[in-house]
Amino acid sequence: MFFDKLFTGAQAIADPDGKLYAAFGIERGGFREMFGAKAWACGLKAVGQGHFINRKIGDPWTLPTVLAVRNRTVVWAHRGEHAGHHPEVRNIPKFMEAVTE
């Protein structure tokens, strides 16, 4: 599974039609958010770590977003400010533990 090495038991949901994105108010980026200096810097860092751009599915202008949902409630959210603004996925279990205490 996608998260097994970082967060055992987590599930990822793809939303190529954008229905969930719309329901959660996930924003679309503009030119600056997708191709600005911050996005480029993060992209270069990712390439240096061995990550590359893959085939895009769905709306390529959607900003990166991670939602942690427990019992149908969003208990933690990361809403990207630009194309390269991602949370440290390995920290999500810590965030989840904090909201359940």
pLDDT in the model for residue 100: 61
Give the H/E segment covering residue 79. Answer: strand 73-79
Whole-number Å distance between alpha carbons of 43 and 31: 15
The mean pLDDT of the chain is 84
pLDDT in tens, 5-31: 767 777 777 788 889 889 989 999 999
Exposure string for 54-73, b = 16+ CB within 10 A, e = fewer = eeeeeeeebbbbeebeeeee
> Residue range 87-93: average pLDDT?
77
What the block records as the tokens of 71 is 């019992």
Is residue 76 within 8 A of residue 68, CB to CB? The reply is yes
